[in-house]
Amino acid sequence: MPGQPLKSIQIEGFTSIRSATVELRQLNILVGANGAGKSNFVQALALLGRIVDGELGLFVGLNGGASALLTDGDGTSRIRLELDADPNSYEAVLVPAANDELIFETEVVYYHEPKYDRPYSKSLGHGHRETRLATETGGPRGGIAKYVFALLEGCKVFHFHDTSADAPVKRTVSTADNLTLRPDAGNLAAYLYRLQTSDAAADQAAYRRIVGAIQLVAPFFRDFVLQPENNDRIRLRWQQQGSDAVFSANQMSDGTLRFVCLATLLLQPELPALVVLDEPELGLHPFAIVQLANLLRQAASRSQVLIATQSVTLMNQFEVDDLIVVERRAGGSTFSRPDAAELEAWLAEYSLGELWEKNLLGGRPAREDFDQA
């Protein structure tokens, strides 16, 4: 989505999100209580990414089936997703089918020029199990579908929480798997190796920035040791300052390893169009969280960034205009942006995190009134 960022996303009937329209800016910080719906919003973006990859069925199966994803899992509801990146939009309506699957009731792409009263729309059909975007990109109106295809491809949700002994980031990987960083950082070693050995100045500069960012958080870190093994496989290894010993990823603390993944993602030469992270602060020292905020702001100058967080330390690094407050009302998730003018006097004396703790921003645990549903 170069030059035309995502303006908004509409979600209906997905888990706790009965109906919501969320306007997006360059930097978006979702805050709210446990169970409010932050992760469900992130999951909806992950669903869009799986749709464009032709993996709707896989996503549904891995997440408990259609009944687990529908707001009302009684077989009568549907999920509607719409992305608006003016002048192009994409809409998908998913309905339950046999075997607890989801299929497309409708799939439509739109193009709207200001000089026309109504947008041009093209239906991609009904009843299909996987998206038809890829088959439409070569047609006479393929330019619209092609743009929307790229829009959805740019929605990337990254999770670096798994640092167990058998985590993907700690396994060997083919050196050929180096084009983009995987959402679970499973090809981190191969990707860093490409940047390290590339002839491109941008790749080399990115590698140096990544190493420098890690050294700020982990001063003992010297550099990566990236050498292909048999059959062009590679694993993540590193050295510390003042020693020639080589260590494996298993000998790096969980927090440090997560920060390595985050720094690589946010400092890479070409970012996805929309970078999405759910609670990226997990396991990080407060100083590392401050450095993470700096990386997020830098990334937001090159791409759109959306994170969900519960960290007061992380929230304190941003502006009130960056926040999206998520609350649960009558069993459903709501999304709103705080009024900066109303909070101006408070912000003169308190940080955002302090205002959140004082419940002046909302997004705190509260008893639900189901009579208002």
Residue whose tokens read 């990859």: 53
Angle at which helix 254-267 crosses helix 201-217, to 10 degrees, equals 150
Residue 205 neighbours by CB distance under 10 Å: 13
- Angstrom CA distances, 316 to 32, 187, 227, stand at 15, 32, 40
* Residue 148, pLDDT score: 83
Residues 6 or more apart from 155 whose CB is under 8 A from it? 45, 46, 48, 49, 52, 83, 272, 273, 274, 276
Lowest-confidence region among 106-120, 132-146, 342-356: 132-146
Q: Give the separation between CA 303 and CA 297, rounded to whole angstroms.
A: 10
Largest CA distance in the chain: 68
Please determine, for residue 113, whether its predicted confidence score (pLDDT) is greater than 80. no
Please determine, for residue 2, whether its predicted confidence score (pLDDT) is greater than 50. no
285-296 pLDDT tens trace: 999 999 999 999
* Residue 151, pLDDT score: 79
Please determine, for residue 232, whether its predicted confidence score (pLDDT) is greater than 80. yes
pTM of the model: 0.91
* Token pair recorded at residue 224: 């990566």
The larger pLDDT score, comparing residue 354 to residue 209, is at 209
Please determine, for residue 65, whether its predicted confidence score (pLDDT) is greater than 50. yes
38-58 pLDDT tens trace: 999 999 999 999 999 999 999
